Amino acid sequence: MPVRHFLTLNDLTTDELDRLLDHASKLKRSWRDGRVRDSLKNRVLAMIFEKSSTRTRVSFEAGMTQLGGAALFLSSRDTQLGRGEPIEDSARVISSMADAVMIRTFEHETVRRFASVASAPVINALTDDFHPCQLLADMQTYREHRGSIRGATVTWVGDGNNMCNSYINAAQLFGFHLNVACPEGYEPDRTMLAKAGNQVSVFHDPAEAAKGTHLLVTDVWASMGQEDEQAARASTFANYQVNEQLMSLAAKNALFMHCLPAHRGEEISVNMLEHPGSVVWDEAENRLHAQKALLEFLILGQLD
């Protein structure tokens, strides 16, 4: 069987994604019931981090341990990757010793090059362009709270960044309409928008985009690698804060999500994480369950 990778959500079909999320919720229940599962006994996940992380590292590492396997934390600062060893050479070697490889890096092309020669599944744990693992958790969280997202409207407020691009992919795979509200010049990738057609609408007025929406989502204004732009972005995005007032325009019982880390007083109001519609803590925890399902799927080829 050819090796399957998870570089964007598009690497799985809608049917596989639905089954994977069902399985993630089952794994969550069985873990909460204290049942021991060793489906990945003696398996190893190599985790390459070229950017910081809390949730991604903890969820993948805890997930592998809970399934009976182990995870290796590899920072580019301490490996030959940081000293210029070609990515393809590293990919051949690391994937020959590990059962799967997770990478968080800058250019999306890096994970593509790694995967092109890897003999084990490669998982994109965030690049400048995509964050598909977060979308698994977000979609699991929505369905656990509200059921199927098919036919719903989701509103993204903020930068047309890696998370926004993954929401565009999700809109097409899960069948929801996506409104994107962003300042001029910060729209998502034009090719992706063209491909999504009328499934994605771009607004410059957050209030218009939020009207009647079922899920309001935002993210930091300056992503990792854009630290120098923080001050300029804070002024450009000032009118794009998700707060109680914006949330009041959404549908009754609308949910609020943020992949975290969040900056209170910037992209969200001080109390937004405690809003009755906020499901951010479930969303963060679901990184663990969704990725355990993903690891079983990629390493064992099973979804139950």
Helices (H), the chain: 14-32, 55-66, 87-97, 108-117, 132-146, 162-174, 190-196, 206-210, 230-236, 244-247, 280-300
User: In the bound complex, what is the minimum distance in angstroms from residue 35's beta carbon to ligand NVA?
Assistant: 30
Q: Applying CB under 6 A, does 155 fall inside the site for ligand NVA?
A: no
Do 277 and 236 touch, CB atoms closer than 8 A?
no
Q: Could you say which of 140, 223, 286, 291 contacts ligand NVA (CB under 6 A)?
A: 223
Binding partner of residue 7 among ligand NVA, ligand CP, none, CB under 5 to 8 Å per kind? none
Q: Is 289 a catalytic residue?
A: no
Q: How far is residue 30 from each of residues 22, 27, 58, 90, measured CA to CA in Å? A: 13, 5, 19, 36
165 — phi, psi (to 5°)?
-60, -40
Do 127 and 110 touch, CB atoms closer than 8 A?
yes
User: In the bound complex, what is the minimum distance in angstroms from residue 218's beta carbon to ligand CP?
Assistant: 12
Give me the residues that bind ligand CP (CB under 6 A), please. 53-56, 126, 134, 259-260
292 closest CA partner among 177, 168, 133: 133
Q: Is 134 a catalytic residue?
A: yes
Residue 206, token pair as written in the block: 């957050």
Q: Is 264 a catalytic residue?
A: no
User: In the bound complex, what is the minimum distance in angstroms from residue 203's beta carbon to ligand CP?
Assistant: 24
Do 296 and 39 touch, CB atoms closer than 8 A?
yes
85/109 with CB nearer ligand NVA: 109
28/104 with CB nearer ligand CP: 104
- Range in contact with ligand NVA (rule: CB under 6 A) among 80-88, 218-226, 245-253, 272-280: 218-226
Q: Among all residues, which ones are annotated catalytic?
A: 104, 131, 134, 219, 259, 287
**Sites of contact with ligand NVA (CB under 6 A):** 126, 161-163, 219-220, 223-224, 259
